[in-house]
A and B are shown apart, each in its own frame.
Chain A
Amino acid sequence: MTRQLERVVAYVVLVLIAIVGFAPFVYLLLLSTKRRIDIVADVPPTLSFDWNQIVKNYSEVIGSQGMLGFTLNSVIVVGLATLLSLVIGVPAAYAFSRLRFRGSESWASTILSFRFMPPVAVAIPIFLMIKGVGLQNSYPGLILPYVAFTLPLVVWIMIGFFDEIPREIDDAALVDGCGRIAVLWRVLLPLARPGMTVAAIFGAIFIWNEFLVALYVINSRGLQTVTLGAATLVSAQRPIDWNIAAAVGIVTVVPIFLFSLFIQRYIVRGITSGAVR
């Protein structure tokens, strides 16, 4: 009897956890389908949906408020910055995982420690550097600093994945006369593909969410990223239309929802940047 009761209590707790975790999303989704006046008038919001209103809200957000353009900017910046940080970071991780050299541990620790630097400490110098070389309001002006922000993440995730690949595989290839670079390129990269996917997804989410540097570097509306665009549309500083704000929020987080489906298995490793194993 107590066993039974325990199970019931456990399920009640589970449902409560689920509500606390997901009700906020559902609420935002619900608000994004309403008319502006309904939000104020119906508390709590009703579950009746008007398809035309939904289309109207989302087409306003995606079209006239410019979220489509912001999304394209973000896709370009996220794509290129993630790619570049993999190109630079994966060989470095391979070196840390396989090669013995003086101070390798302290180099690796130093690289990880950049993950903890406060963005406000580098935002101003990066802004002045970018401005100095005339890259304000350009994609490279965002991509260059973003690669530096994601590199520690990529290096640490990839060290973990390389460490899991048996060294005998490298050794066999080395005996066959391959150089280190050739071993990495031809033998290890195909094996490390899951790791690179994880590193790419976490890097991409980080860049997608980045806000402070974008705020400094971009002041032309047409070049805003999704997060920056969303922030200006829903700024705490001015009164907003809540149905539109909610739709902006939904449009911003949908890609993250999709991404997160792919990384369930690797989440712990990803969020700690490979520091715990």
Chain B
Amino acid sequence: MGPMSARRLLPSRDVALLLGPCIAYLVAFSVFPLLYSLRISFTDLGASDATGNWIGLQNYADLLADPLFWNAAGNTAIMVSAAVTIQVVLGTALALFFNRHLRGAWIVRGALILPMLLTPIVVGVMWRALLNPDWGIVNWAIAQVGLGPINWLGSTEWAIRTLILVDVWQWTPFVFLIVFARLQSLPRDVFEAADVDGAGRLGMLTRITLPLVLPAIAFAAIFRAIDAFRSFDLVYGLSYGGPARSTTTLSFLAFQNGFQFQNYGYAAATAYVMVIALIVATTVLLRFVHVRRADAA
């Protein structure tokens, strides 16, 4: 603290100058669009008319009666829960694997960040090639061990699994990196003490390591769940929602209603159901972040 603390409470002019542009910009290009979207969701706005008619909650009522909405909600729920569960298990396993000293492992570890930086559109194309039913190398590879062929993206049964598979490929490194960072920051003496106490390897893992990294795992899981819930680009690039809407997520449904069918009011209502779900999820996440910051302080 010191002599500066009194001064720090004063400078509201500085706050306005430093923070003002950022707040103003976000109000104009994030808050306003969100409110505008809410307004649109109460209208029957389409591409042809300029304002649309106020129809109150009609879009939301239609949505709840729309089997396509429930189909998309179901697909989204399956995708989010399956993808995040697998990512958490694999990501934590990877983190534990890389936490032991292995010469040369850092090269693989460093390069594992690449998938999550990639354009989802390109990830989609890449996997459509890998999984091509006629000449893709994956079906060739599993045929060598007597399996398949699998119609990865052409059957309703497999397409959603394939979407999950690709999401897992792209985002497991995310969970891995966060859990790994946490593991690396743990004090060594905890493990040494446990070793002295004669805790076996499994005991060390379940009773010491996992509880200590649990906050990181939970954080990564929530983060991933929110992102998987919103995912649109990958669906567009990989399966375009098909076949027979078996991979149509809520984002993709909102996109189709808005962009393809130009039914802006209905699309906005679809998206707003997502916004409400995300506000709830984000509130939970931020509470969690606060806990962590308090921990660190």
Contact = CB atoms under 8 A, between A and B. Distances in A.
Interface in B1-50: 2, 4, 7-9, 11-12, 14-15, 17-19, 21-23, 25-26, 28-30, 32-34, 36-37, 40
Nearest to A121: B271
A258 B39 CA distance: 43
A275 interface: yes
B37 A230 contact: no
Nearest to B177: A268
A95 B19 contact: yes
B163 interface: no
Interface string B101-114: 01011001011111
Contacts of A181: 14, 17-18
Interface string A188-217: 000000000000000001001101100110
A175 to B, nearest CB: 8
Interface range for B: 35 or more
Contact of B29 (A25, A91, A144): A144
B259 interface: yes
Contacts of B296: 277
Contacts of A101: 12, 15
Contact of A27 (B104, B137, B251, B292): B137
A240 to B, nearest CB: 9
B230 A118 contact: yes
Contacts of B29: 126, 144-145, 147-148
A184 B18 contact: yes
Interface in B231-263: 232-233, 236-240, 251, 254-255, 258-259
B22 A236 contact: no
Nearest to A212: B232
Nearest to A6: B100
A259 B37 CA distance: 35
B30 A28 contact: no
Contact of A211 (B100, B121, B135, B272): B121
A27 B129 contact: yes
Interface in A1-33: 7, 10-11, 13-14, 17-18, 20-22, 24-25, 27-28, 31
A272 B232 CA distance: 19
Interface in B259-291: 259, 264, 267-268, 270-272, 274-275, 278-279, 281-282, 285-286, 289-290
A148 B275 contact: no
A119 B137 contact: no
B238 to A, nearest CB: 7
Tell me the dominant secondary structure on chain A's binding face. helix
The contact size tier of chain A is: 35 or more
B286 A91 contact: no
A250 to B, nearest CB: 9
Nearest to B274: A118
B177 A122 contact: no
B108 A14 contact: yes
Given A28-B129, A275-B289, A14 B105 contact: yes
23 contacts: A14-B102, A21-B115, A43-B135, A44-B137, A92-B19, A95-B18, A105-B290, A113-B282, A118-B275, A120-B255, A120-B258, A120-B267, A121-B271, A122-B37, A211-B120, A212-B255, A236-B237, A236-B240, A242-B132, A248-B125, A253-B119, A260-B114, A276-B219
Leading 6 A-B pairs by shortest Cβ distance: A148-B29, A92-B22, A125-B36, A95-B18, A125-B33, A121-B271
